[in-house]
Amino acid sequence: MSIKLENVGKQIGKPATRILSDISFEIGDGEFVALTGKSGSGKSTLLYLISSLDNPSEGRIFFSGGALDAMEPEELFRFRNQKMGFVFQFHYLIAELSALENVLMPAWKFDEKKKRQGLAESLLEQFGLKDKMNRLPRQLSGGEQQRLAIARALVMEPQYLFADEPTGSLDTVNGEIVMNIITDANLKRKTTVILVTHDPDFANAAKRQIHLSDGKVVRQ
């Protein structure tokens, strides 16, 4: 199994408020899993823990047998930036950079801009943005900006793609386009996808759903 959670929990604040309790499950290589549940159920918090953007209060998370908490900071940095891609509800594009430059941002960290430029241009073409690669984010529609953010998440050819409500700010048509791109990454690139969504139709695009309620897994 690629990802394994053992008795993971999360508390925040003082006095402590419990967000997640005793979460244990496994996700195989190439799976497409949706984390579902009502607002406040803990699904986004869980995504941040799995993706190493936050640390659990209890329990451990493993990737291919290696524990995240056993990694040195530099090792975790490289693992996160080379093996993981992230898509959020808001695109977090850099306003002063062109579409192509935004896609290539992850490659700059490892001096791989030239190496990844061909793939970046190919992703932009695949996502219907070939003629807009030199435009600034403000010159793109909301749907185009989110497609750009997904291209950025895929440019390092990550093994894992984490998506937190990626269609939350989009209309139905653009939401479906974004979901098709994410599904395509799973099917054609064999990327392991973990998606947080409140939309049952988009959740059904996943091969498996893990449903949370009050910080606990209630069904899979």
> Which CATH number characterizes residue 42's domain?
3.40.50.300
Model confidence at 1: pLDDT above 80: no
pLDDT digits (tens, 9 = 90+) for 103-135: 999 998 888 889 999 999 999 998 899 999 999
Determine, yes or no, domain membership for 113. Answer: yes
Across the chain, the runs of DSSP E, i.e. the strands, are 3-12, 17-27, 32-36, 58-63, 66-67, 84-87, 160-164, 192-196, 208-213, 216-219
The sheet with strand 208-213 has its strands ordered as 84-87, 160-164, 192-196, 32-36, 208-213, 216-219
Residue with tokens 């056993």: 70
- What is the average per-residue pLDDT within 203-209? 92
Determine, yes or no, domain membership for 84. Answer: yes
Predicted confidence band of residue 171 (pLDDT cuts 50, 70, 90): confident
Q: What angle do CA 3, 58, 166 make, to 5 degrees?
A: 50
The sheet with strand 17-27 has its strands ordered as 17-27, 3-12, 58-63, 66-67
Predicted confidence band of residue 14 (pLDDT cuts 50, 70, 90): confident
Determine, yes or no, domain membership for 65. Answer: no
Mean pLDDT of the chain: 91
Backbone angles phi, psi at 174, to 5 degrees: -70, -35
Domain count, the chain: 1
Predicted confidence band of residue 44 (pLDDT cuts 50, 70, 90): very high
pLDDT digits (tens, 9 = 90+) for 66-100: 899 999 999 998 898 889 999 887 788 999 999 99
Cis ω before 15 (30° cut-off from 0): yes
Determine, yes or no, domain membership for 99. Answer: yes
d(CA 211, CA 35): 6
Please report the pLDDT score of residue 140 as a whole number. Answer: 95
Determine, yes or no, domain membership for 145. Answer: yes
Please report the pLDDT score of residue 104 as a whole number. Answer: 95
For the entire predicted model, the pTM comes to 0.91
* DSSP bridge pairs for 161: 85, 193
Task: Give residue 108's domain range.
Answer: 31-53+80-219
* DSSP bridge pairs for 212: 217
Percent of the chain residues past pLDDT 70, beyond the cut: 100
